[in-house]
Amino acid sequence: MKSLAAALLALAVALPAASQTPPGATPDNDPYIWLEDVDGARAMQWVEGQNAKSAARLEKDPRFETFLAEARGIFTAKDRIPTPRFRAGGIDNLWQDDAHPHGLWRHTSVESYRTASPAWTTILDVDALAKAEGKRWFYKGAVCLKPAETTCLVRLSNGGGDAVELREFDTRSRAFTAGGFRFAEGKQYVEWLDPQTLIVGREWAPGELTESGYPMVLKTVSRTGETKEVFRSQKSDVWAQPVVLRGEGGRTDGVIVQRGLTFYESEYSLLTDRGLVRIPLPAKAQQQDYVDGQVIFTLQEAWGGFQPGALIAYELAALKAGTAKPQLIFAPGPRQAIQQVAATDGQLVVALLEDVKGAVDVWDYAGGRWTSKRLPLPKDANVTLVDTSPKDDRLFVNVESFLEPNSLWLADGAAGTAAQVKALPARFAAKTHLVEQFWATSSDGTKIPYFVVRPKAAKLDGSIPTLMYGYGGFEVAKPPIYMPEAGKLWMERGGAYVIANIRGGGEFGPAWHQSVLREKRQLAFDDFAAVARDLFARKITSARRLGIYGRSNGGVLTTVSMTQHPELWNAVVVESPLIDMLRYHKLSAGASWVGEYGNPDVAEDRAFIARYSGYQNLKPGVRYPEAYITTNTRDDRVHPGHARKFAARLEEMGVPYLYYEQTFGGHANDADPELNARRWARHYVYLAQKLMD
């Protein structure tokens, strides 16, 4: 699927000064630095007080219980599509509902999965495990030994964060292996080399992590406990990760070491008996998969005659011999972008965007040539890969759009066929709305696409309550998706929804992303404001009825939009956010994102970051919209101190705001279905108060 670096996005992407403090505040003159103490008594007392005030406002609203019931019905529905994962010749799924909020890891056959009522076998009851051990365990996947895939390393998160404990598990006996491999909690990578040996990246000794908080030392670990260091990165790097290349029958054909120099720049080397052998690549390249003896990469910059965004292959045998030359597989056009790459047993699968709509191509390698065919899937929809089979050429694909619920398709890459196997029932009345795609003109003349989902019958007089979403970072595209909670709680009540495909995302490939990196970031914020003004010009909505929402990197967007253009919106939802951009690199995984934003410790970078950083640019006397700021105590990716300090700064200035911090669940905020339902109920009560009342 996506590269390991991209998987850490999900990407889906901290410092208040007193009123008189200028941009460039340091911890020494930041009166709210104490709010960065995640579990500190003073900080948690502040959180409890804020939560109580916000709950009184939002959860006492007459609409809250209705919104909560509707959201709970969505997130705990029994007729959801169970997300499939190929394993051991069958299908795995993690199932969460009101009776199992932490989840059941379960298994069935492919044939049974295709029926309306699959016969599931529970492998691990995560709720029972959490209760027995007195922990808030959440299942974060398993790394299983091929080809049988019955001996696995289970990833368990205590609270839903990125840090996990690893334990060996036997799926046949459905029990943890006595005396098996086990690693204490931490951010760590692990792959099987053979039944007796692992390659692991973790904090082996105190401090053996990069400045970003990720592993920097890779070791092989045997069942006897013997360890051998095979790679050591630098503290200033982002991470060191192992990639095991699986050949026929699950054998280990080779091991690649990725040294992450920055979030976007890496060195790739083969681990051989002679030591590390560098793979000739530009710094901005991502390893994607391995199939038919070919190691697959995407290029994020022009190199060797290849354009940015190109998909290329190296023959592994030639790499080992030092004679390899890259071969072009596919070069996206100007309105295309590669979103996902994955291998089946003998095919390479590529999910694309074309004008921000999805398609899937399957590539075959034979006779030294790559040839492709397009899978017969619905058009004008978002199409994403769910999983690919390592034992044959089958793959699952998800298809969705704003008004059409998710459907799951089982395709055969070799045959070029695809058939729908499951479909989500409609969660809201979609016939009242229509979807339009428009283009706004940004400050430098660039055309910015955006989607509008609005009521058909509403007058275009600027009165439609509208929620606008944006992200604009890390080359993460935001195509149309089916959002049942937005449909039920917002659109059914007459609201409109907008996705602004601003620069920084991956809608049109690497160039769309790289055009707003570092000192050019202001253009992404300009794009967002341009979409708002275009909505006003089309009389779809007005500043009185427009609200914005962003999370993670989107928190940079929403807080900058709030401080630079308070006149454009009447509601601002800031979730799991980055905000203090002069200190972000000191908090949690922030140092890994210097390639995106710049380094505040470098004077030139600090100057351009300080010009937009939402935390430092709040100004006394400005009439800001009342924001709703929310985060999670157990978010170990984006530090909760960002959200806390922004709220404290607003409080100091006498600016109205709401703040709520969930105490577990991690960065995604969706580990527990009940808490997720309450989260969205609060969101939409706030938005209804601000934009519909």
Reference 242, options 265, 261, 218; nearest CA is 218
| CA count, 13 A, side-chain hemisphere, 359 | 17
Residues 155, 143 contacting (CB under 8 angstroms): yes
Model confidence at 8, pLDDT cuts 50, 70, 90, reads: very low
Residue 456 confidence (pLDDT): 97
| Residue 215 DSSP label | B
Residue 668 confidence (pLDDT): 79
Q: What tens digit of pLDDT does each residue of 156-210 get?
A: 999 888 999 999 999 999 999 999 999 999 999 999 999 999 999 999 999 999 9
Q: Give the pairing type, strands 657-662 and 627-632.
A: parallel
Is 229 strand, coil or helix? strand
Does the annotation count 642 as an active-site position? no
Residue range 21-33: mean pLDDT, rounded:
63
Model confidence at 536, pLDDT cuts 50, 70, 90, reads: very high
The whole-angstrom separation of Cα 568 and Cα 378 is 37
- Higher-confidence residue: 116 or 669? 116
Tokens of 268: 């790739």
Spatial CB neighbours of 685, under 8 Å, sequence gap ≥ 6: 58, 59, 61, 63, 64, 67
Residue 28 confidence (pLDDT): 56
Residue 10 confidence (pLDDT): 33
* Choice among 552, 588, 592, 613 that is catalytic: 552
Cα separation of the two ends of the chain: 45
Name 550's bridge partners: 574
The whole-angstrom separation of Cα 181 and Cα 168 is 5
Residues 327, 352 contacting (CB under 8 angstroms): no
Residue 7 confidence (pLDDT): 33
Tokens of 19: 């009123």
Tokens of 387: 């999983």
Q: What tens digit of pLDDT does each residue of 69-110 get?
A: 999 999 999 999 999 999 999 999 999 998 999 999 999 999
The whole-angstrom separation of Cα 9 and Cα 130 is 27
Domains in the chain (CATH in brackets) are 4-61+432-692 (3.40.50.1820)
Residue range 478-487: mean pLDDT, rounded:
97
Model confidence at 11, pLDDT cuts 50, 70, 90, reads: very low
Checking if the pLDDT of 366 tops 60, the result is yes
> CA–CA distance from 502 to each of 448, 468, 516 (Å)?
6, 12, 10
Residue range 371-392: mean pLDDT, rounded:
96
Checking if the pLDDT of 681 tops 60, the result is yes
What is the rounded radius of gyration, in angstroms, for the C-alpha atoms of the chain? 25
Residue range 411-420: mean pLDDT, rounded:
97
* Choice among 107, 433, 565, 667 that is catalytic: 667
Residue 665 confidence (pLDDT): 81
Reference 291, options 344, 255, 242, 369; nearest CA is 344
Mean pLDDT over all residues of the chain?
Answer: 94
Residue range 410-425: mean pLDDT, rounded:
97
Residue 274 confidence (pLDDT): 86
Q: What tens digit of pLDDT does each residue of 450-480 get?
A: 999 999 999 999 999 999 999 999 999 999 9
pTM reported for the whole predicted model: 0.90
Scan for tokens 């690497």, then name that residue: 510
Reference 257, options 243, 246, 277, 247; nearest CA is 243
Checking if the pLDDT of 19 tops 80, the result is no
Checking if the pLDDT of 128 tops 60, the result is yes
Checking if the pLDDT of 59 tops 80, the result is yes
SS in 3 state form for 377-396? CCCCCEEEEEEECCCCCEEE
- Over pLDDT 90: what percentage of the chain? 92
| Cis check: omega of the bond before 147, within 30 degrees of 0 | yes
Q: What tens digit of pLDDT does each residue of 542-579 get?
A: 999 999 999 999 999 999 999 999 999 999 999 999 99
Checking if the pLDDT of 9 tops 60, the result is no
Residue range 632-654: mean pLDDT, rounded:
96
Within 10 angstroms of residue 456's Cβ, the number of other Cβ atoms is 8
> CA–CA distance from 660 to each of 334, 405, 647, 687 (Å)?
42, 30, 10, 15
Degrees (nearest 5) of the Cα angle 573, 482, 77?
Answer: 95
Tokens of 626: 């009342």
Does the annotation count 107 as an active-site position? no
Residue range 480-491: mean pLDDT, rounded:
97
Is 632 strand, coil or helix? strand
Within 10 angstroms of residue 336's Cβ, the number of other Cβ atoms is 18
Scan for tokens 């997720």, then name that residue: 676
Residue 160 confidence (pLDDT): 87
Residue 98 confidence (pLDDT): 87
> CA–CA distance from 244 to each of 140, 146, 261 (Å)?
20, 11, 20
Residue range 488-505: mean pLDDT, rounded:
98
In this structure, what are the phi and psi dihedrals at residue 452, rounded to the nearest 5 degrees? -125, 130
> CA–CA distance from 156 to each of 161, 162, 167, 182 (Å)?
10, 10, 8, 11
